[in-house]
Amino acid sequence: MQISILQFQTPAKVNIRLKITSRRPDGFHELTSIMVPVDLTDYLEIRPLDENRIEIFSEGYNVPKDESNLVYRAVRSYYDKVGIDKGISIKLTKKIPVAAGLGGGSSDAAAILLMLNRMNSKPIANRELHQLAAQIGADVPFFLYCKPSIASGIGDVIKPLKDWPKFWYIIVTPPINVSTAWVYKNYRLELTRNKDISILNILEQDSFAISRILENDLEQVTSAHFPIIETIKRMLMDTGAEGAIMSGSGPSVFGLFSSERKARSAKDYLLPYQLGELFLAKSWE
């Protein structure tokens, strides 16, 4: 019997901008966001199984290994869609902090969908794959493309951006628990303008006007309860970042740097303060 093992890496994302534009009657929030994939990655390994079951092993940051794992849900929904009746073993090496605003679970799920479709002799159309991804989670479709993009709708409508400038990112993940559901529940739309100015307009005027683009409506909720968010932002700015902001619903905060040298020296400076996990990343290509 021939056993083939496939290995691949899945990137994290940062939200350069996240503006909530409305709340839908079903409770979901509509938003506009700029999302950029970065090369802080998880590692996935898949192997076909003779028996018809989905098994998950994981190393690194702790994640569920049962049906609630987003990877499990991705495999299940793909198999159900195409009528495949096979088994698969998945080894997840989690290097992206979990529930950190970095989209690790969504990225793993999208990568599995892409891989299963590539391995299928009768692949489904991109549009159908996109639909499956959106059913798993609002951020999953973004990771099917893995390009700097403007996301709209509930995050599931993706428009890739041309010429996103090259930045280096210092990502700081403080050791606090923030649930995405809690942040959205505590978010009050009336506190922010509910119209977003056209991001494209700003980018077309000057693609390096990063300080005009950086904004995250959810930051007010998370940082009101966790002052460390503001502390990290301030320290990142003090080290020479072009800008600093919380990613997604947090608690990760990142700073953008115009050169690798500046980012490295910022990381060295921040290390002794023990603000949390520190990562140096660049755009995922």
Which one of the spans 43-51, 68-76, 213-221, 255-263 is the region binding ligand ATP (CB under 6 A)? 68-76
Binding mask 144-183 for ligand ATP (x = CB under 6 A): ------------------------------------x---
Q: Tell me if the bond preceding 251 is cis, omega within 30° of 0.
A: yes
Specify the long-range contacts of residues 207-210, CB closer than 8 Å, at least 24 apart.
207/163, 207/164, 207/165, 208/165, 210/16, 210/165, 210/167, 210/242, 210/243, 210/256
The answer to whether 237 and 259 are in contact (CB under 8 A) is no
Closest CA to 113 of 130, 100, 127, 99: 130
Closest to ligand ATP by CB, 17 vs 262, is 17
Which position among 10, 41, 69, 173 is part of the footprint of ligand ATP (CB under 6 A)? 69
Task: Report the nearest approach of ligand ATP to the CB of residue 8 (Å).
Answer: 14
Residue 32 binds ligand ATP, judged by CB under 6 A: no
250: left (phi over 0), alpha (psi -120 to 50) or beta: left
Distance (Å, rounded) from C-alpha 43 to C-alpha 62?
14
Q: Can 26 be counted among the known catalytic residues?
A: no
Closest to ligand ATP by CB, 183 vs 239, is 183
Task: Report the nearest approach of ligand ATP to the CB of residue 144 (Å).
Answer: 14
Which position among 18, 32, 41, 139 is part of the footprint of ligand ATP (CB under 6 A)? 139
Residue 33 binds ligand ATP, judged by CB under 6 A: no
Which position among 71, 210, 228, 281 is part of the footprint of ligand ATP (CB under 6 A)? 71
Closest to ligand ATP by CB, 64 vs 153, is 64
Distance (Å, rounded) from C-alpha 35 to C-alpha 17?
7
CA 150 to each of CA 99, 165, 218: distance values in angstroms, whole numbers, following the listed order: 22, 14, 17
Tell which positions 217-256 bind ligand ATP, by CB under 6 A: 248-249
Residue of 42, 108, 139, 196 with catalytic role: 139
Residue 106 binds ligand ATP, judged by CB under 6 A: yes
Q: Tell me which residue has tokens 């794992």.
A: 69
Closest to ligand ATP by CB, 179 vs 259, is 179
The answer to whether 98 and 61 are in contact (CB under 8 A) is yes
Distance (Å, rounded) from C-alpha 281 to C-alpha 80?
36
Task: Report the nearest approach of ligand ATP to the CB of residue 89 (Å).
Answer: 15
Q: Can 13 be counted among the known catalytic residues?
A: yes
Pairing of strands 215-216, 6-23: parallel
Residues at the interface with ligand ATP (CB under 6 A)? 63-64, 68-71, 92, 98-106, 108, 139, 180, 248-249
| Residues marked as catalytic | 13, 139
